[in-house]
């Protein structure tokens, strides 16, 4: 049984997707792909995309929302 793996294999295991949380992300207009397709989004993130509570509730099927 191996306890350690080589650096290359470890790096492959530890990859991550870069998130869009830059300095000015909060001032950008909501974007369905950025807010919800690249990651599981919250209701608030979906609300940023649709900019309306009713549209958020009816449009949420396009966005995998975490409750």
Q: Return the pLDDT at 49.
A: 73
d(CA 47, CA 35): 10
**What's the pTM?**
0.35
Q: Return the pLDDT at 16.
A: 67
pLDDT, tens only, 2-49:
777 888 887 777 776 666 566 665 566 666 665 565 666 677 777 777
Residue of 41, 31, 33, 48 lying closest to 64 (CA atoms): 41
Whether the Cβ atoms of residue 65 and residue 54 lie closer than 8 Å to each other: no
Whether the Cβ atoms of residue 26 and residue 50 lie closer than 8 Å to each other: no
d(CA 29, CA 21): 13
């Amino acid at each position: 049984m191996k306890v350690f793996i080589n650096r290359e294999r470890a790096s492959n295991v530890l990859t991550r997707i870069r998130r869009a949380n830059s300095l000015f992300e909060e001032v950008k207009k909501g974007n369905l792909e950025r807010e919800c397709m690249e990651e599981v989004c919250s209701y608030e993130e979906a609300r940023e995309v649709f900019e309306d509570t009713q549209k958020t509730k009816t449009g949420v099927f396009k966005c995998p929302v975490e409750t």
